[in-house]
Amino acid sequence: MRELTYNEAAVEAIAEEMRRDPKIFYMSTDAIPSLLKEFGDQRIRATPIAEAALTGMGIGAAGCGFRPIVDWRQVTFCFVAMDQIVNQAAKIHYMFGGQVTFPILFRASVGGGGQVAAQHSQSPYSMFMNVAGLKMFLPSTPYDIKGLLKTAIRDNNPVISFESSRLMARKGPVPKEDYTIPLGLADVKRTGDDVTVVALAWLVHEALAAAEELAREGISVEVVDPRTLVPLDRATIRESVRKTGRLVIADEAGPTCGFSAEVAAIATEDAATFARLKAPVKRVCALPVPIPYSPVLESAVFPDRVRIIAGVREVLQGRRSTAAA
C-alpha cells in the first residue's frame, strides 16, 4: 500500500470531499497551494488574520446550506473566536430548535515538539470537550486522519479536528479507495494482557515503542487509541481495562480537568470495571506549566516512552505491594 504523510492524508481527504460536494469551501489565513490550484479562490478563501470573523462566517454559511471548512491553523489562534465557538457554533442548532443544521469542520494543530514556546505548544482540547454541542477528534496516523476528516466533513454538526504538530511529516499506509472512520470508535493499536495504556496522537507511537521494550521483559501492554474525543468510545476503554486490570493514561496535555481525568473516571465510575482494577490508575501527562522554548526544558515537560514505561512499572508494583500487604 502507498504511504502518505499525516499532512498529505489530511489534504487528500479535503480534496476528495470537495470534488464530491460543490457546497464545501475552505477558509484559512494561509491557503493550501494544491487546493487553491485545483479549486480556485472562490472555494479556497485566503482570509485576513481575523479568526473570530472567519469562524462567524463559517457558522453563517453553514446555516445557509454550505459546508465550510474553517482552518484556524494553530489552536492558539482560535482563542480569539471563543464566543463564536462556545456560544454560537456549539449551541446554534439547539437554539434554532433543530430546524437548521450547521455542518462545519474546524481544523487546528495542537501539541509541542517544535520549540515554538508557550503560546504555540498547547493542547487545550479538554477545554472544548467541556462544551456540549461540539464533536472532536485527535488522530495518530495518516490512515486515521483521512478517514476521520472525511466523516467529519459529511457530518451535519460542528466538528473540530485537532491535529498533532509532531505527526505532520510522519508517514503511514493510506488506501487509494474511499473510506471513512466513524466518530466515537477507538482503535486497539496493540493487544496485551497485563496493562492498558490509553494514549493520544503522538503518544500512541511512544506507547507502542514502550510496549515493544516492555515485551522483552515479558510485560504485555495493550495500547488503546481513542481517536475521537467527543463522542468518546467508553466501551472499548472499559473492556480493555477489565481484561488487564491496570490502566495508564498518556496525554500530551496537562492533568488538571483534562482528557486523562475523564478516562480515569471512565475506569473508576463503572462498578464492573472498577472491580477488576488491580492497582490505582496512573496518569502520564505534561507538567502543569507553560511550555518552555528551550528544547531541553520542553522535553522535560512532555511525557514520552520513558515516562510511560515508568508508569507501567508503577501500576505493576502497585499490584505486587497490595498483594504483599
User: Would you name the residues annotated as active-site residues?
Assistant: 120
User: Considering only CA atoms, which of 287, 278, 221 is closest in space to residue 254?
Assistant: 287
CA distances from 279 to 188, 242, 248, 250 (A): 21, 12, 10, 17
Helix (H) or strand (E) holding 113: none
Strand 171-173 with 3-5, pairing: antiparallel
- Report angle CA 162, 130, 81 to the nearest 5 degrees: 60
CA distances from 41 to 28, 37, 47, 294 (A): 12, 8, 11, 39
Q: Which three cell numbers stand for residue 98?
A: 433543530
Backbone angles phi, psi at 274, to 5 degrees: -60, -40
Half-sphere exposure of 35 (CA within 13 A, CB side): 26
